[in-house]
Structure 1
Amino acid sequence: MTIAPTFKIDPTEFAGKRVLVTGGTHGAGAAILRRFRAAGALTATSARNEPTEDPGDGLFVQADLATPAGVEALAEGVAARMGGVDVLVHCLGGSSTPGGGFVAATEEFWQAELALNLLAAVRLDRLLVPRMIEKGAGVVVHVASIQRRLPLFESTIAYAAAKAALASYSKTLSKEVGPKGVRVNTVSPGWIMTSAADRMVKRLAESGRTDEETARRGIMDALGGIPIGRPAWPEEIAELVAFLASDRAASIHGADYVIDGGTIPTV
């Protein structure tokens, strides 16, 4: 498969819904944002820097969500401009730890990975979910990773641990807020065709003093292969997230949906 898939979208599916997607300026987050916007939602997103691509008609807040101040700025911006959110999709994540295993994952890298991949979601939920509870309705989707079950020790040990913690936190949150009308689910993608994945390949190639194709094969081997023969497209992740946020999934709560092309080899 060489081109991204297209899906038929109901332009009224999320009409009137206020949707916040973190990490919505690139990769899977951008695809998720486009999916909700195409379905009629009022959207918002954020990033540390101004987006290089047109973010569309939605709200954009420049903020570093790896910091408490950045999370507060986003929550305040959404509250002031949108009055809160009906759907919160936390897609922000990534890894900057170099190759080299646990020794290379210094204190600085551990703190950075936890702040970006776990605490940003925890802090944002704490500020935005209470309004959902007041309304008695809302949806939260946390994007984790299959690395919480298949960690790659070479370069993403801290990332994998943070995503595992995010999945555990999501389950706990679902138990608390489910009876109050707020649904919480987790999506755990495998390898996705994104620019971030390309950067990881380059980083591994550089640290391993090899070429990118060898580094790419190394990732595939470490994952045990992908039975469908390819990574997922961001648009496929977006379809799953949109389904979980929709009324069609009204009874799905506290679940973790894996979308990895069959990478995880066990039931």
Structure 2
Amino acid sequence: MRPDPTEFEGRRILVTAGTKGAGRATVQRFLAGGARVITAARAAPETSTGAEFVQADLMTLEGCEALAQAAMDRFGGVDVLVHVVGGSSAPAGGFAALTDAHWRTELDLNLMPAVRLDRLLAPQMIGRGSGAIIHVSSIQRTLPLPESTTAYAAAKAALSTYSKALSKELGPRGVRVNVVSPGWISTEASDALLERITAGSGGTLEDARQSVLNALGGIPLGRAAKPEEVAELIAFLASDRAAAIHGGEYVIDGGTIPTV
């Protein structure tokens, strides 16, 4: 089904990491719904996403401040804030391979951009008494892969806990907060993870892929999620159709998590 081109008409939406993968798909979904969208990345995209773009490193306070200020200057505010930025660059090898620098990088990428941008932009939502914030976490907060993503999983767990606390604070002020937790998604980032595992193990990419699937316990649906499918869930939670949905975490993992 094609999106309703008026669903987000008049809405001002900020999506972090909107030039690749699930972030780019999310930008495209909101644009298709009539929204004005602004995004940021460390490097300009090779082809335009159709959104306003700010070149900024969101792992830094200065980068977050530059994006927030651009959203205020160009849009006059933000109605929906979607934190997609995240990922892992830590090496394989388990806990012993992770230095303090690796831990800091994972936290600076997967937790702190949301904390900083919420602090910068949520007050104007509170002032209006309306808004929606969506944080993209990961099922790895409950299913960490000890060989390669311990620090990433811990940072995403912190993001989910922070999101719950934020929802309790902002809900009474008219601002909805929800979390989307994907499992395996077919993106450039997932390909990069497989390459790091391959480099650490000396095996093949298929060996690395199978090791990840084994660690996750398999995907009952039989495939990874598509970026567009994750974007559709995010769009739903940002829409008026989800006006009573708040403080929740919504998993899109093809059935990977094996428990209730």
TM-score by length of 1: 0.97
Letter of the 1:103 partner, please give it.
Answer: A
**Residue of structure 2 in register with 1:43 after alignment:** 37
Among 94, 103, 107, which residue is 1:101 paired with? 94
**Residue of structure 1 in register with 2:197 after alignment:** 204
Among 180, 183, 204, which residue is 2:173 paired with? 180
Tell me the distance in 1 between the aligned counterparts of 2:109 and 2:188: 18
Q: Do structure 1's residue 163 and structure 2's residue 153 form an aligned pair?
A: no
Deviation at 1:52, TM superposition (A): 1.6
SS of residue paired to 1:35: helix
* Residue identity (%): 62
Q: Deviations over 1:112-164 (max 9, x none)?
A: 00001001100000000000000000000000000000000111111000000
Unmatched 5+ stretches in structure 1: 1-6
SS of residue paired to 1:61: strand
SS of residue paired to 1:60: strand
Tell me the distance in 2 between the aligned counterparts of 1:80 and 1:109: 35
Letter of the 2:35 partner, please give it.
Answer: A
> Equivalent residues in 2 for 1:223-262 (5 A)?
223-262=216-255
Among 41, 63, 74, which residue is 1:70 paired with? 63
Among 100, 122, 125, which residue is 1:129 paired with? 122
Letter of the 1:13 partner, please give it.
Answer: E
**Residue of structure 1 in register with 2:14 after alignment:** 20
Tell me the distance in 1 between the aligned counterparts of 2:134 and 2:88: 20
Deviation at 1:53, TM superposition (A): 2.4
**Residue of structure 1 in register with 2:80 after alignment:** 87
Deviation at 1:42, TM superposition (A): 0.2
Letter of the 1:226 partner, please give it.
Answer: I
**Residue of structure 2 in register with 1:3 after alignment:** none
Q: Do structure 1's residue 154 and structure 2's residue 144 form an aligned pair?
A: no
Tell me the distance in 1 between the aligned counterparts of 2:112 and 2:47: 27
Tell me the distance in 1 between the aligned counterparts of 2:238 and 2:199: 39
**Residue of structure 1 in register with 2:131 after alignment:** 138
Deviation at 1:59, TM superposition (A): 1.1
Q: Do structure 1's residue 216 and structure 2's residue 209 form an aligned pair?
A: yes
Among 41, 51, 55, which residue is 2:49 paired with? 55
Deviation at 1:84, TM superposition (A): 1.2
Tell me the distance in 1 between the aligned counterparts of 2:87 and 2:47: 20
SS of residue paired to 2:111: helix
**Residue of structure 1 in register with 2:28 after alignment:** 34
TM-score by length of 2: 0.99
Deviation at 1:54, TM superposition (A): 1.4
Could you list the structure 1 runs, at least 4 aligned residues long, displaced by more than 2 angstroms after superposition: none
Q: Deviations over 1:188-209 (max 9, x none)?
A: 0000000110011011001111
Alignment size in residue pairs: 260
Tell me the distance in 1 between the aligned counterparts of 2:166 and 2:199: 39
Letter of the 2:195 partner, please give it.
Answer: K
Among 187, 192, 212, which residue is 1:194 paired with? 187
Tell me the distance in 2 between the aligned counterparts of 1:259 and 1:50: 29
Letter of the 1:115 partner, please give it.
Answer: D
Tell me the distance in 1 between the aligned counterparts of 2:43 and 2:227: 21
Among 11, 19, 35, which residue is 2:5 paired with? 11
Tell me the distance in 1 between the aligned counterparts of 2:120 and 2:108: 16
Tell me the distance in 2 between the aligned counterparts of 1:10 and 1:171: 30
Tell me the distance in 2 between the aligned counterparts of 1:54 and 1:62: 13
SS of residue paired to 1:171: helix
